[in-house]
A and B are shown apart, each in its own frame.
Chain A
Amino acid sequence: MPLDVVFYGTRGSISAPHEDILRYGSLTSCVVIKSGDRSVVIDAGFGIGFYSDHLANKMGNFHVLISHFHWDHIQGLNYFGPVHHPKSTNNFYSPFKVEQLQEVMDIYFDGSYGPFNGWEALNSKFEFHKLTGDIKINGFTVSMIPLNHTDPCYAYKISDGNSSVVYASDHEAINNQVNRDFIDWAKGCDILIHDAMYEDNEYEHKIGWGHSTFDMACENARKIEAKKLLLTHHEPLRSDKDLDRIESELKKKYPGLDLVCAQQVITYSS
């Protein structure tokens, strides 16, 4: 069975909704990987609320992998319907210490920042899991490796039988050991989801900020020999028109690569 990838949040840093970004979307990071009726969610930016809007049933066992704790990957949590459903269990996974994940939730769900009383007071059940190596989650095999970012951040590989999806956001793909290890680890994946926040001229001012250019993402995809490349973590203001233009330029420049700039709600299949 193929793996399906659906983005509900494609933006980095901040959501700045505007009518010129309706197709690619304005919401911060959230991707859902599906195989039939099984799924795992990666990251919980505002996109996870939008995903919840599409969920017919908010009751069940949900699985959310967290790449790192920057707000654009966390800030949508309260708007994920299952966290308020008394019969739901929300499993959160990351390679970080459970206490660290809980501490982030403590800040996010503090009564100072919303009509909250801490995450423990939410109706649903929260389970925290520290990932230490390959693990089976909801029938998928999940593995991880560190990325090159301003704070510790991990890539995930989700495999199901013959197909595999690699999610690598946020990542600055410079020629260092972290990136070389990442390339070896991701080798031959079917779908590569890669941070591509900047154009070259923008990157000049943002070296060391922990994000890649479109070219860096394409070069990585080429080295990884990924069958499909989905570019994400779009710069907050980048318009649909500009992403269309960039995508067609990249297709000319990298004819061997099957690539797209990720749009929200479209299903990409392996």
Chain B
Amino acid sequence: MIFTLLGTRGSRPILTYEQVKYGGNTTAFKISIDGMNPIYVDGGTGIFREGVAITKANTRGLHAHFLITHTHWDHILAFPFFAPLFMPGTKLTIMGPRSEKYDIKSLFEHQHNKGLIPIPFEIFKERIDFKELYPNEEFMIEKATIKTVELNHQGLTLGYRIEHGGKSICIITDHAPIENNHLGVLMKGWKKDDFTAKEKIFYDTLVRFVKDADLMMHDTHFTKEGIKGKENWGHSSPEMAVDLALKANVKKVVLGHHAPEDKDNDVEIKIKSARDYLKSIGKSNSVEVVALSEGDEICL
């Protein structure tokens, strides 16, 4: 199983001279498994160059699955420009959560309405199958097992676990601390008296979900200091990613969803802060913490 990082910027694409190392495209990852069509997670601007590369390499179209964490712009905005969608042989299955108002298909269709994108959605319709997903599902994509979990972020956001051949990858983005900070639409029904219990169930479920993962990509939009007072923005810090990894015996943590204002140096500060934290509690050898550049691969 190979994990490829195509884009890991949060909120909006950006690229200044001080951001070249970690790149400026918004969220997209690829998971390649021998003998299978690719599985992508999210469709931020990171899929644009990938799409162009695919159409240069083959003319038969692309067969692939997309797992969408949630439909915030930074995670879906490149679909109308994904080159394989303009090839007749292409067949994509786009799977992900609905929003409070709309089903997943309508959310994609809306981008093309009202003269917002000069490409009629009709062209894509026969090349895309949509499937709505909810938390705590388990299903197969070809030979891989896929599991979903609820994350703490505005709307409905899903974490994914992709398993194959005894290896596993978890994608946990976008995601915020749960303590007194209930952002998800499904948490609206929580009663005040139950908060502590509900939070515990939520977090324990998440720990079980990422248990023993070989690789966990985790939202680390903020630094340990930077998140203070901004917990309700829906994002995490490196320390939170490390805590989860330690509780769940995750082997490797990939930091991501870097803030648009993060320079390369800021990302390196996050890596150092995560490693220093591990050292301070005597767990340096328990979890490996890395940040990747666009195009970097990790073979499991």
List the interface of chain A (C-beta within 8 A of B): 13-19, 21-22, 26-27, 46, 49-50, 53, 68-71, 74-76, 78-79, 100, 103-104, 107, 110-115, 150-152, 209-210, 236-237
B77: chain A residues at CB < 8 Å are 14, 71, 75
Q: Are B49 and A18 neighbours in the complex by a CB distance under 8 Å?
A: yes
Asked whether, in the complex, the Cβ of B13 is within 8 Å of the Cβ of A26, the reply is: yes
Chain B residues near A114 (CB, 8 Å)? 72-73, 154
Task: Say yes or no: is B64 at the interface (Cβ < 8 Å to chain A).
Answer: no
Given A53-B261, A111-B154, A14-B78 contact (CB < 8 Å): yes
Chain B residues, Cβ within 8 Å of A75: 73, 77
Interface string of B249-269 (1 = CB under 8 A from A): 000000000001100000000
- A146–B115 Cα distance when bound, in Å, is 16
When chains A and B are docked, how far (Å) is the Cα of A175 from the Cα of B148?
55
User: Of A71, A100, A112, which contacts B155 at CB under 8 A?
Assistant: A112
B115 touches A70 (CB 8 A): yes
Q: Within the assembled complex, what's the spacing in Å between the Cα atoms of A69 and B112? A: 11
Whether the Cβ atoms of B118 and A19 lie closer than 8 Å is: no
**Contact among B11, B25, B116 for A16, CB-based, below 8 A:** B25
Please determine whether B48 and A16 come into contact, CB atoms closer than 8 angstroms.
yes
B114 A69 Cβ-Cβ under 8 A:
yes
**14 A-B pairs, CB-CB below 8 angstroms?**
A19-B20, A26-B13, A26-B14, A27-B13, A69-B114, A71-B117, A79-B260, A104-B114, A104-B116, A107-B113, A112-B102, A151-B115, A152-B115, A236-B81
Q: Is B24 an interface residue (CB 8 A)?
A: yes
Binding site for A on B (CB under 8 A): 9, 11-17, 20, 23-25, 45, 48-49, 52, 71-73, 77-78, 80-81, 99-102, 107, 110-111, 113-118, 154-155, 233-234, 260-261
Residue pair B15, A17 in contact (C-beta under 8 Å): yes
3 closest A-B pairs by CB: A112-B99, A17-B24, A17-B15
Known: A14-B81, A17-B24, A50-B14. A236 touches B48 (CB 8 A): yes
A113→B71 contact, CB < 8 A: yes
Residues of A close to B117: CB separation below 8 A: 70-71
Complex CA–CA separation, A209 to B9 (angstroms): 30
14 new A-B pairs (CB below 8 Å) besides A17-B25, A71-B80, A111-B154?
A16-B25, A17-B24, A26-B14, A49-B14, A70-B116, A70-B118, A71-B77, A76-B12, A104-B114, A107-B116, A110-B99, A113-B107, A150-B118, A210-B118
